[in-house]
């Protein structure tokens, strides 16, 4: 285990100064992610237009550096993305956090990949995986994605 890998600069920065923090007016979709183990909460707010494009996104919540950084990075990345890209990126991220050594989606730019991969350190800390995914699960509910019946780790 390596703490430096878990608490990389990007994570410490986003954890301390989360981007897109706070509820904004005119949101039309929202959902809460909750970790019953620790009581951490992340509430995601979206402004979705009729093309299911995320015009604006923010989050509120309290939690550890990992959950706050993950929510912050996610909101930066998802702004102006639309369905089904959002779903593809979301599934790709969850797959990477749980098992895949890399991000596969072509929709994610190199600099975005670097940011997302900074969260990959949680793989070595199974109890912390939920911290990295809580905001992403909230986003999935806000987008009305459902879990795949044959693969509960995947959203359809």
- Given the complex with other proteins, which of 43 and 81 has the nearer CB atom? 43
Tokens found for residue 67:
């959950």
Tokens found for residue 115:
């940011």
Choosing from 10, 31, 65, 129, the residue that interacts with other proteins (CB under 8 A) is 65
- Given the complex with other proteins, which of 81 and 130 has the nearer CB atom? 130
Choosing from 18, 33, 54, 63, the residue that interacts with other proteins (CB under 8 A) is 63
Q: Maximum distance among all alpha carbons in the chain?
A: 46
107 is a contact residue toward other proteins (CB under 8 A): no
- DSSP-derived pairing of the beta strands 151-155 and 147-148: antiparallel
* Strands of 29-35's sheet in order across: 29-35, 40-48, 54-62
CA 22 to CA 41: how far, in whole Å?
A: 13
Q: Of the ranges 75-83, 107-115, 123-131, 142-150, which one interacts with other proteins (CB under 8 A)?
A: 123-131
The beta strand positions in 6-139, using DSSP E, are: 29-35, 40-48, 54-62
Can you say how many angstroms the Cα of residue 94 is from the centroid of all Cα atoms in its chain?
Answer: 8
39 is a contact residue toward other proteins (CB under 8 A): yes
33 is a contact residue toward other proteins (CB under 8 A): no
Q: Of the ranges 2-10, 52-60, 93-101, 139-147, which one interacts with other proteins (CB under 8 A)?
A: 2-10
CB of 97 to other proteins, least distance (A): 16
Give me the residues that bind other proteins (CB under 8 A), please. 1, 3, 6-7, 12, 16, 37-41, 62-66, 125, 128, 131
């Amino acid at each position: 285990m390596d703490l430096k890998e878990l608490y990389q600069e990007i994570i410490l920065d986003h954890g301390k100064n989360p981007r897109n923090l706070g509820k904004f007016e005119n949101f039309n979709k929202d959902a809460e992610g909750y970790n019953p183990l620790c009581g951490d909460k992340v509430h995601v707010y979206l402004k979705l237009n009729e093309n299911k494009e995320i015009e604006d996104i923010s989050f509120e919540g309290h939690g550890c550096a990992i959950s706050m950084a993950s929510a912050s990075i996610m909101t930066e990345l998802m702004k102006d993305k639309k369905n089904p890209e959002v779903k593809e990126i979301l599934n790709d991220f969850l797959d990477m956090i749980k098992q895949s050594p890399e991000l596969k989606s072509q929709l994610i730019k190199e600099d975005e990949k670097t940011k997302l991969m900074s969260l990959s350190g949680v793989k070595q800390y199974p109890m912390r995986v939920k911290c990295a995914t809580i905001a992403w699960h909230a986003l999935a509910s806000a987008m009305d994605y459902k879990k795949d019946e044959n693969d509960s780790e995947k959203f359809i």
